[in-house]
Structure 1
Amino acid sequence: MTQRLTHRLGVLLLIAVTVLAAAAGFVLVSGQAAVVITHGVSMNPVYYQGDLVIVARASSYSVGEIAAYNLPGKGEVALHRIIGGNRDGFIFKGDNNQSVDPAKPRGDELVGRAVLHIPQGGLWLETLTSPPVLGLLAFVLLAGGGAAATTRHRRKRRRATLSRHISTRPARHQILGSLPSSLRISTALAAAFALMGIAIGVLAWSGPLEEPSTSHIKTGTRMDFSYTADVGQSPAYDGTVAKSPDPVFRKLANKVDVHFTYHGEPGTVTVKADLSAPGGWRSSIPLAGPETVSGPGYEGKVTLDLKALDAKAQAASTVTGLPSGPLTIVVTPQVKTSTGADFQPGLKLNLTPLQLALAGGPDTLTATDTTTTEQIAITPRMLGLNGVNITAIAARIISAVLFLAALTIGAITVVFARRTAPADEAAAIRRRYAALLVRVHPMPAPQGRPIIDVTTFSTLAKLAERYGLLVLHWTRAGVETFVVQDENITYRYRPGAGPVPAEPQPELADLQP
């Protein structure tokens, strides 16, 4: 009962190890989880250099959680704490940093939140996945089988030189066939895991973890303009507010609010108004800024004093003698992004003594910049495994997991192979020495021929090997008999204790195939 219970527990443990190994490989390959090895001091004292953190994808993220996201254009992962924002754009900051992160990734862009922390685990992982250690694991896995095969080969050569070239080594299919079905499956599973670990390990270690890559980045920066003016109740407008693209009549309003909405990378924005007259006079007036643009959508507003702008142009005309109108006004929000790009869209308006009107059609209220730039970045090296792309570091981890799973399954198989030996000694002899035994009909003891009973079957097997003979085997009255007949002596072994029944009348031994 104890052996049966132990066997069942071992099978359950084997299944659990197999499922865990398969689940770990699937989760890493599918991208539902990732392994992050920390560098730097931005998250001290929570994480230190060389720690290992497992991050898993989540349906939602909250302020206060530690999460990982890909740094734009760098091929690296940042592991910081969420301090604000929402799924449309989270704000991150390292616990040991003085400023917030410039990037504000969306919820669907996050790699995952931290679920497991192993101090200094990254250093251990890099050691375990190094080529010397993987080679040592492969050697340990295969050493037992190689040593056993070498020993059997030496015995075979020794027996071949002694006599008759009779081999007592069971064939490989007999060895596997003698094992219980559960152990045969576990042996095949361990071998499969080991081979997969070797194959994936070779691919993972045949190149670096990272490699340079060239990417073409198309920027979709956009600025949307609009303007409004309070005009009161009058027959000129349906309501009390004049809106773009309609003109603003100066008799009803002399102040116009210009609105702009920016869509693009974070940076700073400064707003100015450029004035110009037909005679060549020009002037620039600062209106607002600089202000920080956190993105991805920034809304701003400036107010144009039409009387003040007209008075400035009239003053210049008095000095220069050039005509002061009509006056052209270009409102320009200048955005300098964190990557160094400069975006300067302009809203062009015409000012006359009667009205302020949009220069151009309604399509001029939107300005876009779709320039394409080439960027070289260091990105993780990707491996293609049966149509699935994974990073080199993930492949190294998977290979190590497969090796450990193979070693674990192999060790469990060896332990239970020893414990599942049959309780019946005769059955154990038939299983172990199948190639040495020949089953015959019961034989009488030859007259005048001495019979020597040996105490163990191993002694009988050694005698058979020495003389190059087979062991004759029969069962009569529930008693198993094994004999080796030399030219003058019969060596006999009977498993178990008990009285020996009388031999039958002489009859010829009839060998059975």
Structure 2
Amino acid sequence: MKRLLRRILAVAAAVASAAGTILGVLLVSGQAAVVVTHGVSMNPVYYQGDLVVVARAGAYQVGDIVAYHVHGGPEIALHRIIGGDAAGFAIKGDNNQSTDIDHPTAEQIIGRAVVHVPQAGTALKALTGPPVLALAAFALLGGGTTALTRRRRRRARRRTSMSRHLETGTPSRRGSLAQLLQRPLRGWAATAAAALALSGSLGAWAWSAPAETGTSTGGAAPGRSMDFSYSAPVRPSAAYDGTTVSSPDPVFRRVLAGSVTVAYTYHGPAGTVSVAAELSAPGGWHATVPLTGAQPISDGATGKAVLDLAALDARAQAAAQATGTPAAPVTVSVVPTVHAGGADYSPALKLTLTPLQLALADPAGLSSAQKAPGSAAPAPKERSLDLGAWSLGASAARPLSAGASAAAALALAALALAARRRAPQDEAARIRHRWGSLLVPVHPVPAAPGRALVDVADIATLARLAERYGLLILTWSRSGVETFIVNDENITYRYRTGAAEALLPESRAEEATTRGSQAR
């Protein structure tokens, strides 16, 4: 049973080591990445603290959960593709009300989700955090110092007690560790130990400081943002307290006394702006209605566009009659397109038009969060290790170092199990392996007349006697029987391997002679 368990552990360690190595190669090569989720945007598929491995794919399609850099910075979003194509995907979190601002291309996508481990991200951060690494380093250093101190004390005692004899050093207490340092396991053990040291150093570098430092110095586009609002006159009624309705309240069409005015405030470089209303219906119909022509605009400028709800509703009804599809509800997106610096910026205020009211499609649509990709603050620059053309960021180095350390530790454990299985099974071999530094091979030594002969029960007792008196153990082999003796002043202590009937006749005679001498 124990042998089967050891084999299972060895196989599991080998598989984990291979998987960790493959994952490490994929991470370093950029073909895969590890993402630790945060927030609730992908509930109930993923929850905060989950670990997700994403891998590059040849093509992506609607329904894939993909990771990409938000606004091209170090922050990573893990959301689902709901539309678009390789030139620009529409992406949305399953638990979000609105789609993402970014429309990453296939080249900008880091990868598609392939492995999900619930709450592994939280555990990984805890295990690879600076406090745990510092504690592990302290334990290693403390354990090494304690072992070194004990070894030095044993050596000091041995030198004192063996002043009358040949200095032989500390008795060998070798086990699996000694086997690891012997061929053929020595090379594999050295490789695993080097991998463990390298991954530990990488983890120490990755966690010694924040992953991001300073700001990137790349040519980010000037910041651009836009805030929206709307208002409309209404007749006195119980629907409103006054005669004007303004955002974010819905506009009830039964009491509407005029057109709806959409106002916007622009922040960004100077350029020109034109406003259009983009209409769409559930059946797939869509159309664009120009509202204003191109006009100059500068930073902090405001503008207005008027929505004639009756005209927009009539346009949708005509399209419904022509196509036979439902006309309501109609999505009205007010889109001011700013052309500045050779690039267009087109935020949108999305409204829903029904026969009864006009309301916000997205409660967050009025905020200034809808910014051009370049409008964000300069993205922090991630710390990285650069070796020629190869670069590894701190955020990728953290899970890589943890995985590599775990794989190397498992490999060392598997090698230790293999070393234990390689330990000598023969009793004489085990004795030489365990107490080799105390043994001195000699030719058979006959028992001297007048000396007491004492057979000890086991080799450990004989070794303790030798250590206590600072003596060496003399050993020889004859006819498969190993003899070990320690000669004190008047007593010979002896231990023999093998059954008693295997003893040589001359050895029995020797014993008889010795006993006779003792009797006289």
2:391 is matched with: 389
Q: How big is each residue's C-alpha offset from its partner over 1:192-230, in whole Å with a ceiling of 9 and x where there is no partner?
A: 1321122112221232111221211479xxxxxxxxxxx
The equivalent position to 2:493 in structure 1, one of 486, 491, 495, is 491
2:247 is matched with: none
Q: Contact between 1:76 and 1:379, CA under 8 Å: does it hold in 2?
A: no
2:276 is matched with: 289
Percent identical residues = 48
Q: How big is each residue's C-alpha offset from its partner over 1:152-204, in whole Å with a ceiling of 9 and x where there is no partner?
A: 33322222222224423339999736866454345324421321122112221
1:39 is matched with: 38
Structure 2 residue ranges without an equivalent (≥5): 223-270, 280-286, 291-334, 347-373, 511-520
Provide the C-alpha distance between the structure 2 equivalents of 1:458 and 1:118, rounded to a whole number of angstroms.
50
Provide the C-alpha distance between the structure 2 equivalents of 1:87 and 1:391, rounded to a whole number of angstroms.
26
Q: How does 1:29-428 map to 2 (within 5 A)?
A: 29-138=28-137, 148-164=147-163, 165-170=167-172, 176=178, 181=183, 183-211=185-213, 212-217=215-220, 289=276, 335-336=337-338, 376-384=378-386, 388-428=390-430
Deviation at 1:83, TM superposition (A): 0.8
Equivalent AA in structure 1 for residue 276 of structure 2: G
CA 1:142–1:59 in structure 2 vs 1: closer, same or farther (change >3 Å)? farther
Provide the C-alpha distance between the structure 1 equivalents of 2:175 and 2:424, rounded to a whole number of angstroms.
19
Deviation at 1:270, TM superposition (A): 6.1
CA 1:102–1:5 in structure 2 vs 1: closer, same or farther (change >3 Å)? closer
Q: Contact between 1:51 and 1:120, CA under 8 Å: does it hold in 2?
A: yes
Deviation at 1:382, TM superposition (A): 1.9
Q: Contact between 1:41 and 1:48, CA under 8 Å: does it hold in 2?
A: yes
Helix, strand or coil for the counterpart of 1:107?
A: coil
Q: How big is each residue's C-alpha offset from its partner over 1:101-129, in whole Å with a ceiling of 9 and x where there is no partner?
A: 23222112211111222333332222111
CA 1:337–1:460 in structure 2 vs 1: closer, same or farther (change >3 Å)? farther
Deviation at 1:289, TM superposition (A): 2.7
Deviation at 1:440, TM superposition (A): 1.0
Q: Contact between 2:172 and 2:435, CA under 8 Å: does it hold in 1?
A: yes
Helix, strand or coil for the counterpart of 1:85?
A: strand
Deviates more, 1:460-469 or 1:39-48: 39-48
2:498 pairs with 1:502: no
Equivalent AA in structure 2 for residue 47 of structure 1: Y
Q: Contact between 1:460 and 1:484, CA under 8 Å: does it hold in 2?
A: yes
Question: Over aligned residues, Cα RMSD in angstroms?
Answer: 3.9
Helix, strand or coil for the counterpart of 1:493?
A: strand
Provide the C-alpha distance between the structure 2 equivalents of 1:57 and 1:412, rounded to a whole number of angstroms.
32
CA 1:337–1:21 in structure 2 vs 1: closer, same or farther (change >3 Å)? farther
The equivalent position to 2:454 in structure 1, one of 452, 455, 474, is 452
Helix, strand or coil for the counterpart of 1:396?
A: helix
Equivalent AA in structure 2 for residue 70 of structure 1: H
Equivalent AA in structure 2 for residue 213 of structure 1: S
CA 1:116–1:4 in structure 2 vs 1: closer, same or farther (change >3 Å)? closer
Equivalent AA in structure 2 for residue 131 of structure 1: P
Provide the C-alpha distance between the structure 1 equivalents of 2:464 and 2:487, rounded to a whole number of angstroms.
13
2:465 pairs with 1:463: yes
Provide the C-alpha distance between the structure 2 equivalents of 1:195 and 1:475, rounded to a whole number of angstroms.
44
Deviation at 1:334, TM superposition (A): 8.6
More strand by share: 1
1:366 is matched with: none
CA 1:124–1:447 in structure 2 vs 1: closer, same or farther (change >3 Å)? same
CA 1:178–1:393 in structure 2 vs 1: closer, same or farther (change >3 Å)? closer
CA 1:180–1:15 in structure 2 vs 1: closer, same or farther (change >3 Å)? farther
Provide the C-alpha distance between the structure 1 equivalents of 2:389 and 2:435, rounded to a whole number of angstroms.
47
CA 1:75–1:175 in structure 2 vs 1: closer, same or farther (change >3 Å)? closer
Equivalent AA in structure 1 for residue 135 of structure 2: L
Q: How big is each residue's C-alpha offset from its partner over 1:1-45, in whole Å with a ceiling of 9 and x where there is no partner?
A: x78766665554443233222212111111111122223332233
2:16 is matched with: 17
- Under a length normalisation based on structure 1, what TM-score does the superposition of the two structures give? 0.64
CA 1:85–1:341 in structure 2 vs 1: closer, same or farther (change >3 Å)? closer
Provide the C-alpha distance between the structure 1 equivalents of 2:29 and 2:61, rounded to a whole number of angstroms.
24
Equivalent AA in structure 2 for residue 407 of structure 1: A
1:357 is matched with: none
Deviation at 1:416, TM superposition (A): 4.4
Aligned length: 378
Provide the C-alpha distance between the structure 1 equivalents of 2:343 and 2:66, rounded to a whole number of angstroms.
28
Deviates more, 1:335-344 or 1:132-141: 335-344
- Bigger CA radius of gyration: 1
Q: How big is each residue's C-alpha offset from its partner over 1:288-329, in whole Å with a ceiling of 9 and x where there is no partner?
A: 83559xxxxxx9999xxxxxxxxxxxxxxxxxxxxxxxxxxx
Equivalent AA in structure 1 for residue 218 of structure 2: S
Deviates more, 1:133-142 or 1:455-464: 133-142
Q: How big is each residue's C-alpha offset from its partner over 1:234-254, in whole Å with a ceiling of 9 and x where there is no partner?
A: xxxxxxxxxxxxxxxxxxxxx
Helix, strand or coil for the counterpart of 1:491?
A: strand
Equivalent AA in structure 2 for residue 214 of structure 1: T
Helix, strand or coil for the counterpart of 2:218?
A: strand
Deviation at 1:453, TM superposition (A): 0.9
Q: Contact between 1:138 and 1:403, CA under 8 Å: does it hold in 2?
A: no
Equivalent AA in structure 1 for residue 448 of structure 2: P
Deviation at 1:502, TM superposition (A): 3.4
2:262 is matched with: none
Equivalent AA in structure 2 for residue 488 of structure 1: N
Equivalent AA in structure 2 for residue 465 of structure 1: E
Provide the C-alpha distance between the structure 1 equivalents of 2:392 and 2:376, rounded to a whole number of angstroms.
25
Q: Contact between 1:205 and 1:396, CA under 8 Å: does it hold in 2?
A: yes
Equivalent AA in structure 2 for residue 430 of structure 1: R
Structure 1 residue ranges without an equivalent (≥5): 220-267, 272-287, 293-298, 303-332, 345-371, 507-513
Equivalent AA in structure 2 for residue 104 of structure 1: H
Equivalent AA in structure 2 for residue 79 of structure 1: L
2:440 is matched with: 438
CA 1:158–1:135 in structure 2 vs 1: closer, same or farther (change >3 Å)? same
Deviation at 1:135, TM superposition (A): 3.1
Q: How big is each residue's C-alpha offset from its partner over 1:467-499, in whole Å with a ceiling of 9 and x where there is no partner?
A: 222111111111111111122111111023223
Equivalent AA in structure 2 for residue 156 of structure 1: R
Helix, strand or coil for the counterpart of 1:376?
A: coil
